[in-house]
Amino acid sequence: MPSIALAQTNLPAEQSIKTVPFSPIPKATPSWQLSFRPKERQGIRLGKYFFMSIPEIGVGLKYEFQDETRSNNDVETSELYHRFAEKIGFRADGWWYHPAFFTFSATLEPELSQVYEEDSVGNTARSNLFTPDYLLSATFLDSKPYTLNLHANRREMPSWAAYKGGFETRIHDFGGDIDLDIQKLLKTSGLYSANLGYSHTDSATKGFYIHEEISDNFSLNLKQQGNKLKTELESFFTDRERTTEDIKSRTKTFDTKLFNNYQIRQNNPIRLGGVWSYRYQELDTLDLETFRLNENLNWRHRRNLTSFYQFNYDYHETNGSDESNIVSLEGRVQHLLFENLTTTAGTQTYYGAYSNGQEAAVDPYLHLLYSRPTPIGSLSLGSRWNYLLTTRDYDNSQSFVSVQNEPHILSFSQDSFLKNYNVAIGSIIVTNTAGTIQYIEGIDYQVELIANYVSIRSLSLGDINNGQAVLVHYLYQQDSEYDDSIFSQHYTFAFTFFRNTTLQLSHSRAKQYIISGTPPNVRRDDNISKASIQHRMSWSDTRFEVATFDRASAGEYQTWQFTQRFDIHPLRRLNLSLAGYYGETHYNDQPIGDTPWVDSESYGGALTANWRLTRRLALSMEGFTNIQESEIEKTKNTGLQAGLSFTYRLWSAKLTYQLSDQSTQNDTNDSSRLRNFIRFDIVRLYW
C-alpha cells in the first residue's frame, strides 16, 4: 500500500525521494518506465494493482405519457400508459495490475419504473419495471502491438427519426476485436496491420411495424502498405434473423474482398490494380455463390495520353446447380486536346457460358467530351456511340435464367425497372448492398408488372430509405437463340450560369437489329430524354428534373420531380432548415384488356428549427411528411417532435412531445397508427 504522502502528491515518484547530503546518488528510473507510470490522481486504490476513479454520479426523474391507436382492416385497438421512472447513474474508469495491461470504462444506469396501463376495452394494470442499462468497455495491452478491445451495451429508450416518426427501441450488443500491429510485432520495414472482431446484437423496434433482429457478426481486416504495393483483405460473416410483423427471414452471408494496387513506375506512372471477391449467401429460397476477379492496368503514356486495360471473370451459382461463367476484356485510350476536348475510344468483349447456353459479344465505343469557360459560366458537351454485336446459342429446354446482385437505387417517387423482361415475380428477392438484410415485399418495397418488365419502388414506412442502393435477385425466362446488334447513342449538354445555376439536357437512343435466328418477343427500341435545372445559393438549393421514356417494351411514360431546400437564420439564435419535394410517374400508353399500368405520385418535406431563447432555455422542433399514392397502395407518413430544454449548472430539464400519424392501404391491408407521446425529464448531470 503506498504511503499517504505519496498518494496525495502529483509529483513523479523519483522527485518525492528525500536525499541526505553525501549519500549515494539514487538509481535513476528508466525513461520507458516513467512513460508508463500512471499519473497520481484521486481515486480508489487496492494495493498497487488496482485503481478506479471516484465514480461520477447522476440522477434523473422521468415522466412519460403515451396514447397509441392502431387499426387493421377496421379492427381498432388502443394502448395508453403513464410511466414514472427514477434513474441513478454511475460512471468510472480505471485500470487493473498496470494501466498498460488493462484499462476499463463503465457506465451503469439502472432505472426503476412505475407503470399504469389501459387498453381499448378498459382493462387496466399497474406494474413495476427494472431496466439495467449499461455501457462497458475494456482494453487489454493498449501499448503492445497486440491489443484486445471488449464492449457490452444495453439500452431501452424511446427514439425518433425523420421519415420514421416516434418508436421504441431495445438493443443489447456485446463483442470485441483484436488489433495486431504486425510491423511492430515482427519488426518489419513495411506497414502491416490486422483486426479480428466479433459482435452479437439482439434488438427490437416498435414503430409502425414491429421488428426484431438477432445477428452474429465476424470480421477480419488485413492491411499491407509498402512503397509501391498496397494490399487489403476485408472479410466478414453475418448470420442475421429478422422478424417483421411475424414474417421471419434468415440471411447468412460470407463475403471476402482482396484489394491490391501496385505502382510499376514512379516517373511515368503505370498502376496495376485488382479486386478479388467471393460471396456466399443463404437466403430464404436461394443459395447464392459469387466469385469475381478484376484486374486493371492504368498507363499514363504522356501528359495528355493515357490508356486503360481491364480483365474480369465472374462466376455465379444458384442453389448449387445453375452456373454461369463470364469473361470480359476491355481496352481504351483517352486523349486530352487543348485542355478542353477529351476523346475516349475503346472496345469491350465478353463471353458467357450458362447452364442453358452461351453468349458472346463485342462492344466498340467512342466518347467525346468538350468543356470550356464562358464569360458568364461554363459549357460542357458530350456524346457517346456504342455498337453492341451479340451471338447466342441456348437450349430452350431450360427456360429460366438466374440473375444475382443486380444493382438498383430505389426511390419513393420514381420507378426502377429490372434489366430483363419475362421475370418470375415470385422469385424477386431484394437485399442491401452488403447482402446481410433481406427486405419484405409490401412492407419495404413494391413491385408492378409493366408490359413485360417489372418496376420496383421503395415504401416510406419500410426499412429502405429514399435513394438507397439495393441488390435484386430474380429469375427470368430466356428467349430462343438469335444474333443481334444494338446501336446506342447518348448526347449531353450542360451549362452553368454564374456558378449558381446549372442546366443539363440529355438524350439517349438504342435500336435493336435482328441479324439471324428467331426474333425475341420484345424488341428494343428505346428513346430517353432528360432535363434538369438547379439553382444553388448559400441558403437555398432548388432543383427540377423531368424525364421521358419511350420504350417499345413498356410504352411511353414520364417522371418528374421538384425539390427545394432552405437553410436560413432569421435571428441570431434561430436556425431553420426546410426541405420538400414532389414527384410523379405517369404512363401514357395503357394495355388493352389488361390491368392498367399504375401512375404514382409522392410528395413530402421536413422542417427543422433550433431556437436558443436565452442562455439556458432552448426550443427545438422537427417535423416531416411523406405521401405516396398509386392504385396499388397509398401510404401516409407524418410526424412532429418538439422539445423545450432548460439547463442550470449541473441540472437540466426537458419537455418533449412527439406525434406520429401513419397509414397504408392496399387490396389486402388497411392499417393506421396514431401515436401521441409526452416525456418530461429532470436530470442531475454526472459530477
Per-domain residue ranges of the chain? 402-479+521-648
Provide the 10 A C-beta neighbour count for residue 51. 21
Dump pLDDT digits (tens) for 129-185. 999 999 999 999 988 888 999 999 999 888 888 777 888 899 999 999 999 988 777
Cell 441540472 locates to: 651
| E strand residue ranges, 181-304 | 191-206, 210-225, 229-244, 247-265, 270-282, 287-302
| E strand residue ranges, 588-632 | 600-612, 617-630
Dump pLDDT digits (tens) for 4-28. 332 333 333 333 333 333 334 444 5
- How many helices (H) and strands (E) would you count in the chain? 3, 36
Q: In whole angstroms, what is the distance from residue 139 CA to residue 654 CA? A: 35
Q: In whole angstroms, what is the distance from residue 404 CA to residue 315 CA? A: 11
For residue 5, the model assigns a pLDDT of 31
Model confidence band, residue 421 (pLDDT cutoffs 50, 70, 90): confident
The whole-number average pLDDT for the span 641-661 is: 93
In contact, 388 and 360? CB cutoff 8 Å: no
Q: What are phi and psi of 613, to 5 degrees?
A: -65, -45
| 3-class secondary structure, 355 | coil
Amino acid at 205: T
Dump pLDDT digits (tens) for 439-486. 998 889 988 887 778 888 888 888 898 889 999 999 888 777 789 999
Q: In whole angstroms, what is the distance from residue 533 CA to residue 528 CA? A: 17
Q: In whole angstroms, what is the distance from residue 67 CA to residue 117 CA? A: 10
Provide the 10 A C-beta neighbour count for residue 176. 17
Q: In whole angstroms, what is the distance from residue 265 CA to residue 80 CA? A: 71
| E strand residue ranges, 305-376 | 305-318, 322-337, 341-354, 357-374
Among the listed residues 8, 84, 2, the one whose alpha carbon sits nearest the alpha carbon of residue 48: 2
Residue 238 pLDDT greater than 70, yes or no: yes
Dump pLDDT digits (tens) for 588-638. 766 544 555 668 888 999 999 999 999 999 999 999 999 988 877 889 999
pTM of the model: 0.82
The mean pLDDT value of the chain amounts to 86
Q: In whole angstroms, what is the distance from residue 225 CA to residue 254 CA? A: 25
For residue 18, the model assigns a pLDDT of 35
